[in-house]
Amino acid sequence: MTTVRLPLFPLNSVLFPGLVLPLNIFEERYRAMMRDLLKTPEDEPRRFAVVAIRDGHEVATSGPGMPDQTAVPARGPAAGFGDNPFLAFHEVGCIADAATIRERADGSFEVLATGTTRVRLLSVEA
């Protein structure tokens, strides 16, 4: 068994190896994740883990005219997933390889990812 640290992308759906996953990235915590992945050289895989949400919210609460609360450092990337984010996610997910990451004019991203390998969560850093 190999242990690696990967950015985590929780969804209300499941990704399987071999399937293609188009994503519309608009929330600041995941925009930051895409900006980090874009720092990876193009000839290297841009990987992140996709896991299904057991409990919590895929999108953190925000309102019209209000800043995205996940951008506030006190809330952090685990906002919306409770006191112990590890318990909010299913234990098995899938590693995704972002084949394309395109930033839009509004700062959101269009991502096309492919599921590559099953993964088991051992811990979550918030």
- Rounded Cα gap, residues 51 and 69, in angstroms: 22
Question: Would you list the domain boundaries of the chain?
Answer: 8-59+76-120
**What pLDDT does 80 receive?**
65
**What pLDDT does 40 receive?**
94
User: Shortest CA distance to 70 belongs to which of 35, 26, 11, 105?
Assistant: 26
**DSSP states of 17-69 as a string?**
TT-EEEEEE-SHHHHHHHHHHHTS-TTS--EEEEEEBSSS-SS----TTSPPG
Q: pLDDT tens, 24-54?
A: 999 888 999 999 999 999 899 999 999 998 8
Largest pairwise CA distance in the chain: 47
User: Shortest CA distance to 77 belongs to which of 113, 36, 121?
Assistant: 36
Domain 8-59+76-120 has CATH 2.30.130.40: yes
Give CA separation, 46 vs 19, 25, 52, 72, 91, in Å. 16, 15, 20, 26, 22
Q: pLDDT tens, 76-122?
A: 666 666 677 778 888 999 999 999 999 999 999 999 999 999 999 88
The encoded tokens of residue 94 equal: 């899938």
Model confidence at 67: pLDDT above 70: no
Assess contact for 85 and 78: CB atoms under 8 A. yes
Q: 65 pLDDT band (50/70/90 cuts)?
A: very low
Residue 10's SS3 state is: strand
**What pLDDT does 75 receive?**
55
The structure's pTM equals 0.79
